[in-house]
Structure 1
Amino acid sequence: MPLQLQIWDTAGQERFRSITQSYYRSANALILTYDITCEESFRCLPEWLREIEQYASNKVITVLVGNKIDLAERREVSQQRAEEFSEAQDMYYLETSAKESDNVEKLFLDLACRLISEARQNTLVNNVSSPLPGEGKSISYLTCCNFN
């Protein structure tokens, strides 16, 4: 059974708020990203988590990503604080730099491996009967996946 990965990025923009709610229902994984150099972006996370609780499946995998580690000298949110928050919310945590591509591939590979593992255990909720042609990307089962 091929797994279809479909990635939506709304960058938290308000204009996408109404459509994101419908995508929550069929999502098996969600990535919450905040800017490590912006305390305010971190403080918004509980609001996003409330939305996830309201609209997403209770089995959705949620990953917290601290972005912009290339600007570590401007850090406003400590890694320890973010790790404690993610642990309290039962989320996987990773820091990345989209600009430098640090840990971005790891994020998606780890997430795909977690999804594959859950698909093998039949714990994924498949709310989409069949994707439209051209949607998603088939991936094969991997045997080397660690979600660490």
Structure 2
Amino acid sequence: MNQRVDYVFKVVLIGDSAVGKSQLLARFARNEFSLDSKATIGVEFQTRTLTIDQKTIKAQIWDTAGQERYRAVTSAYYRGAVGAMVVYDITKPQTFEHTVRWIEELREHADKNIAVILVGNKSDLVTQRAVSIEEAKEFAESEGLFYIETSALESTNVENAFLTVLKEIYKTHCKKALAGREDELEGTNLLAGTNIDISSGQDHTGTPSKSNCCSF
């Protein structure tokens, strides 16, 4: 209960209704799957704490209804999100086609540096596949997105999908933090000048050392 948390990352799940967003969340957060799952009404979220590069990360995953009548709710919940999973059903091509709209909405409301992954769910229904892996990969590449196929039912790649997003968020955070420290040190040096201790032979120019916080 008193576990120290280094970072809290908000990730949003978006996509059409019935593509399996809630099942993906249940599988990741609680390792559960229910065949009787009901459609999400409004917005709900689950959390899970995990470790990345020896840092304790609390993932706060938000799930939203895909129905049009709840779009007014979903448009507000992008605020503060640093990651997103755009989910479609590999057996329903229209849900794949609609990812274009979801990505546009995401880019309109979310931070420009948000980490995004395209998720083709229900990979267990291989005999009913209507969207090819090649087509989805090509689209993801054209949009600059990560891509993965999952099965919430069989728990295939669910962990990998969430970890891909969370690791990318963490890497981006580290880069921003390092850039901020470099800017701060550069500003300090411009004001204070540079001191060199020639007696010890060491350079004290204030040049920051490279951070390894983003290595995986």
Q: Which bin holds the TM-score, normalised by the shorter protein?
A: 0.7 to 0.9
CA RMSD of superposed structures (Å): 1.9
* 1:107 aligns with one of 158, 161, 164: 161
Q: How far apart, CA to CA, are the structure 1 residues paired with 2:172 and 2:139? A: 24
Q: Verify: 1:46 aligned to 2:97, yes or no.
A: no
Q: How far apart, CA to CA, are the structure 2 residues paired with 1:63 and 1:46? A: 13
Residue number in structure 2 paired with 1:133: none
Q: Is residue 151–residue 157 contact of structure 2 (8 Å, CA) maintained in 1?
A: yes
CA deviations 1:18-55 (Å, max 9, x no partner) are 12212213111110000001011011111111111211
Higher fraction of strand:
2
Q: How far apart, CA to CA, are the structure 2 residues paired with 1:11 and 1:34? A: 13
SS of equivalent residue, structure 1 residue 69: coil
After superposing the two structures, state which structure 1 stretch, 114-123 or 41-50, moved more: 114-123
Q: How far apart, CA to CA, are the structure 2 residues paired with 1:29 and 1:143? A: 17
Residue number in structure 2 paired with 1:2: 6
Q: How far apart, CA to CA, are the structure 2 residues paired with 1:60 and 1:143? A: 17
Q: TM-score, structure 2 length as denominator?
A: 0.55
Q: Verify: 1:95 aligned to 2:149, yes or no.
A: yes
Q: Is residue 114–residue 169 contact of structure 2 (8 Å, CA) maintained in 1?
A: no
**Structure 2 counterpart of 1:65, one-letter code:** V
Q: Verify: 1:116 aligned to 2:166, yes or no.
A: no
Residues 30 and 67 (structure 1 numbering): CA distance in 2 closer, same or farther, change over 3 Å? same
Residue number in structure 1 paired with 2:121: 67
Give aligned pairs, total: 127
Which of the pair has more CA radius of gyration?
2
After superposing the two structures, state which structure 1 stretch, 107-116 or 92-101, moved more: 107-116
Q: Which runs of 4+ in 1 moved over 4 A?
A: none
* 1:82 aligns with one of 118, 136, 146: 136
CA deviations 1:91-147 (Å, max 9, x no partner) are 000000011000001111222111111111127xxxxxxxxxxxxxxxxxx8774xx
After superposing the two structures, state which structure 1 stretch, 113-122 or 5-14, moved more: 5-14
* 2:77 aligns with one of 4, 18, 23: 23
Identity of aligned residues (%): 39
Q: TM-score, structure 1 length as denominator?
A: 0.78
Unaligned runs of 5+ in 1: 124-141
Residues 47 and 143 (structure 1 numbering): CA distance in 2 closer, same or farther, change over 3 Å? closer
